[in-house]
C-alpha cells in the first residue's frame, strides 16, 4: 500500500501488487483452464437438490450452451436474461452466453412482473432463462417485451427445456472474445435514481476475479457457500465467478434458511463464507451456531453495508480459527474496491486497503479538494474493474465517472494512517436492505402515481435485521389509511423494496431547486422512532 509521492497534488492510495489479471483473459477462458487442471473436481454442489457437477461437466455445458445460442443467431451485442435462484444452471447458462460473445443480465428471483419487464426492455434481452417456479411470471413479462424465446431450467409448458440446449452437438463458436465487449449487465441505481444497466466488460470481470483471487486466495481445496444471489454483482463475481476461476467448489442453496446454511457449512466443510450483514450478525449472536461444527471456516467476509468494529470483533471471537473481514465495492466497480486478506481479514471496522491496481482518493464533497489520512470525504476509485458505463445513459455515466477515469462512489469515508479504508456514511441516497439497493426515487414515483398522494419522500431507517428499511413520508391530498398504502405498495415491488412504515406530513422539505432535503427527514424520523 502506498500514498502518492510527497508534493503530489492528489493524495491517492494504491496497492503495489502489480497487474491483477491478464488483460486478454476472459471468465470462460479462466474456467476452461480450471477444468483442464482438475476435471473431476466438484465445481458446483447443490445442497437442496443433492446434486454435484464436476468441472469437466461444467466446461462441457458451457460449450454446449454457447453452441446452441450461436445456432439461434445469438452473439455479440445480444443479451441473455437469467431469472432464477442460485442453482447449477446459472453457471452453465451465463458463462455459456459469454462464451458465445453475448452478455448476461441477472433478474432477481424476487422481482415483480413489471420489474422483470422493465429490465428485459431496457437491456434488450432476446432470450430469457428461468426456473419452473418462476415461469408463469417470466413468460408474461417476456410477452410484453422483445424476448424471442423463454428457456426453462425444468419442464414447463410454453418454454424451451434447457435439456435441448445441452443436447446441442454443433461446433462451439470461436473462443476469442473482445476484452472490451460487454459480458455482464447487472442493474444498479448508481448514487441515486432509477435502476440502470451497468456495462461490465470481459476485461472488468477478469480484473475483478484476479483482484479477488489475490486477496482471498481460493484454491482447489476450498469450498465456498454462495448465499448472495447470482443476479446481484456480489453473488455473481464474488460467490460464483471467482471460486470457479480458481478451481474451488461452489455450494449453492436455491433459497436461504439459516439452519440449512449452517448444516451446509458443516457437511460440505465450507472454508470461505461471504455473507450479507444479517447473516454476519447471526454468526455472532444466534444460538443455532452452537448446534453445528463450523470449524472448517477459514475466512468469513461480510459485504453490502458497513459494520461496526464491535460486531466484527464478536464474530472473530466466536470463530477464533477464521480470518474475519468486511468487503466493499459497487456494481459499477465489479464488486471490488478493497479485498479482505485470506489470512488476516480486515482490521475491525475497516474494509482494508485497496485491491491490486486500484487507486483511491478521498475528496471533500463541498470544495472538491483532496483530503489526507483520517479526514472524511467522498471515496473515489480508479482501476481496471471500473465499469465501461451505464447502458444507453451517457449523461449518467459522465456524472459517475470523470474524464480521468475516477468513479465517485457516493460513500463518505476516510483512509487511516495504515492505508485501510473506512466507510462511515452515505452521500448517495440509496437504501441498503440485506445488501440490495433500493432507490428512493423508484418508490417515490410509485407513491406519487396515486391521485391521493400529493408528494412523497422515501428515507432509510436503521434496522438490526436487514441493515436498513425504507420509510415513506407523504403529503396527502385527502384522508389516507397508512396501512393500506403499505400493503398497496408491497403488491407492486420486490420484497426488499417494501415500505416499512408511512408517515404523514404537511410538506416535504426541498431545496430551491426542488431536491428533497432527505437529511432533515431522516433526523425527524430518528427523533420520532426513538
CA distance 207 to 136: 37
Check the CA dihedral 285-286-292-296 and report its sign: negative
Grid coordinates 436498513 are at which residue?
468
Place of cell 416499512: 500
3-state secondary structure of 459: strand
Is 430 in contact with 442 (CB distance < 8 Å)?
Answer: no
The predicted pLDDT at position 8 comes to 39
Query: What confidence score (pLDDT) does residue 512 get?
Result: 52
Instruction: For strands 103-106 and 79-83, give the pairing.
Output: parallel
Instruction: Give the neighbor-by-neighbor strand order of the sheet with 501-504.
Output: 453-463, 467-476, 501-504
Ramachandran area for residue 475 (φ above 0: left; ψ -120 to 50: alpha; else beta): beta
Whole-model pTM: value is: 0.85
> Counting beta carbons within 10 angstroms of the beta carbon of residue 112, is it exposed (0 to 12), middle (13 to 18) or buried (19 or more)?
middle
User: What distance separates the 2 farthest-apart alpha carbons in the chain?
Assistant: 68
Q: Which H/E stretch holds residue 154?
A: none
d(C-alpha 472, C-alpha 521), whole Å: 10
The phi, psi pair for 345, rounded to 5°, reads 65, -130
Cβ atoms of 269 and 296 within 8 Å: the answer is yes
Q: Rounded to the nearest 10 degrees, what angle do helices 309-318 and 277-285 cross at? A: 50
pLDDT (0 to 100) of residue 511: 58
Region label for 419, one of left (φ > 0), alpha (ψ between -120 and 50) or beta (otherwise): left
The domain made up of 431-529 has a fold known as: GMP Synthetase; Chain A, domain 3 (3.30.300)
Pairing of strands 223-226, 501-504: unpaired
CA distance 373 to 2: 12
User: Which cell is 391 given?
Assistant: 447502458
DSSP assignment of 368-405, as one string? --B--TT--EEEEEESTTS-SEETT-HHHHHHHB-TTS
pLDDT tens sequence for the chain (530 residues): 444 433 335 566 665 443 444 445 899 999 999 999 999 999 999 998 889 999 999 999 999 999 999 999 999 999 999 999 999 999 999 999 999 999 999 999 989 999 999 999 999 999 999 999 999 999 999 999 989 999 999 889 999 999 999 999 998 888 789 999 999 999 987 666 778 999 999 999 999 999 999 999 999 999 999 999 999 999 999 999 999 999 999 999 988 889 999 999 999 999 999 998 778 888 988 899 999 999 999 999 998 777 788 889 999 999 999 999 999 999 999 999 999 999 999 999 999 999 999 999 999 987 889 999 999 899 999 999 999 999 999 999 999 999 999 999 998 899 999 999 998 877 777 788 987 878 887 898 789 888 899 888 999 999 888 889 999 999 998 889 999 999 999 999 999 999 999 999 998 887 554 668 887 899 899 888 86
What's residue 54's pLDDT?
98
Q: Which grid cell is 218?
A: 481460493
C-alpha 111/C-alpha 127 separation (Å) is 17
Q: Quick one: DSSP state of residue 216? A: H
Instruction: Note the pLDDT of residue 7.
Output: 34
E strand intervals along 153-220 = 160-161, 182-184, 187-188, 196-201
Nearest to 78 by CA among 142, 128, 28, 144: 128
* Range 178-215 burial, b when 16+ CB lie within 10 A, else e: ebebbbbbbbbbbbbbebbbbbbbbbbbbbbbbbbbbb
- The predicted pLDDT at position 280 comes to 87
Res 25: pLDDT: 85
Do 79 and 102 meet the contact criterion of CB atoms below 8 Å apart? yes
**Shortest CA distance to 43 belongs to which of 447, 30, 69?**
30
Amino acid at each position: 500500500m502506498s500514498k502518492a509521492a510527497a508534493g503530489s497534488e492528489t493524495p491517492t492510495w494504491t496497492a503495489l501488487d502489480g497487474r491483477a489479471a491478464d488483460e486478454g483473459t476472459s471468465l470462460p477462458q479462466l474456467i476452461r483452464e480450471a477444468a483442464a487442471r482438475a476435471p473431476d473436481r466438484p465445481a458446483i454442489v447443490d445442497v437442496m437438490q443433492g446434486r454435484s457437477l464436476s468441472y469437466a461437466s461444467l466446461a462441457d455445458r458451457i460449450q454446449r450452451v454457447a453452441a446452441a445460442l450461436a445456432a439461434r443467431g445469438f452473439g455479440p451485442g445480444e443479451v441473455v436474461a437469467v431469472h432464477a435462484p442460485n442453482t447449477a444452471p446459472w453457471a452453465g447458462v451465463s458463462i455459456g452466453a459469454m462464451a458465445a460473445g453475448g452478455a448476461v443480465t441477472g433478474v432477481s428471483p424476487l422481482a415483480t412482473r413489471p420489474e422483470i419487464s422493465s429490465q428485459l426492455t431496457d437491456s434488450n434481452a432476446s432470450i430469457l432463462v428461468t426456473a419452473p417456479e418462476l415461469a408463469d411470471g417470466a413468460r408474461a413479462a417476456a410477452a410484453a417485451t422483445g424476448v424471442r424465446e423463454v428457456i426453462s431450467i425444468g419442464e414447463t409448458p410454453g418454454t424451451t427445456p434447457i435439456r435441448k440446449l445441452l443436447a446441442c452437438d454443433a461446433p462451439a463458436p470461436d473462443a476469442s472474445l473482445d476484452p472490451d465487449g460487454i459480458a455482464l449487465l447487472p442493474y444498479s441505481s448508481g448514487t441515486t435514481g432509477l435502476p440502470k444497466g451497468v456495462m461490465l466488460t470481459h476485461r472488468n470481470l477478469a480484473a475483478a476475479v484476479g483482484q479477488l483471487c489475490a486477496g482471498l486466495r481460493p484454491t482447489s481445496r476450498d469450498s465456498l457457500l454462495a448465499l448472495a444471489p447470482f443476479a446481484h454483482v456480489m453473488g455473481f463475481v464474488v460467490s460464483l465467478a471467482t471460486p470457479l476461476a480458481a478451481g474451488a467448489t461452489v455450494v449453492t442453496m436455491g433459497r436461504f434458511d439459516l439452519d440449512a446454511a449452517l448444516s451446509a457449512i458443516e457437511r460440505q466443510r465450507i472454508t470461505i463464507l461471504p455473507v450479507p450483514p444479517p447473516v454476519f450478525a447471526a454468526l455472532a449472536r444466534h444460538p443455532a451456531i452452537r448446534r453445528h461444527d463450523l470449524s472448517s471456516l477459514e475466512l468469513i467476509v461480510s459485504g453490502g453495508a458497513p459494520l461496526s468494529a464491535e460486531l466484527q470483533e464478536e464474530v472473530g471471537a466466536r470463530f477464533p480459527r477464521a480470518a474475519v473481514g468486511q468487503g466493499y465495492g459497487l456494481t459499477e466497480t465489479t464488486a471490488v474496491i478493497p479485498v479482505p486478506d485470506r489470512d488476516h481479514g480486515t482490521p475491525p471496522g475497516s474494509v482494508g486497503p485497496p485491491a491490486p491496481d486500484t487507486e483511491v482518493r478521498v475528496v471533500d464533497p463541498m470544495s472538491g479538494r483532496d483530503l489526507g489520512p483520517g479526514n472524511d470525504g467522498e471515496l473515489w476509485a480508479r482501476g481496471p474493474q471500473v465499469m465501461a458505463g451505464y447502458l444507453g445513459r451517457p449523461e449518467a455515466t459522465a456524472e459517475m465517472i470523470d474524464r480521468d477515469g475516477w468513479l465517485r462512489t457516493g460513500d463518505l469515508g476516510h483512509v487511516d494512517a495504515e492505508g485501510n479504508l473506512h466507510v462511515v456514511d452515505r452521500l448517495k441516497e440509496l437504501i441498503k436492505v440485506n445488501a440490495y439497493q433500493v432507490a428512493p426515487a423508484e418508490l417515490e414515483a410509485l407513491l406519487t402515481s396515486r391521485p391521493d398522494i400529493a408528494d412523497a419522500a422515501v428515507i432509510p431507517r436503521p434496522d438490526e435485521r436487514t441493515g436498513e428499511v425504507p420509510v415513506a413520508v407523504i403529503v396527502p391530498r385527502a384522508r389516507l389509511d397508512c396501512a393500506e398504502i403499505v400493503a398497496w405498495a408491497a403488491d407492486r415491488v420486490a420484497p426488499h423494496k417494501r415500505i416499512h412504515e408511512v408517515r404523514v406530513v404537511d410538506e416535504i422539505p426541498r431545496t430551491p431547486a426542488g431536491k428533497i432535503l432527505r437529511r432533515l427527514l431522516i433526523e425527524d424520523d430518528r427523533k420520532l422512532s426513538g
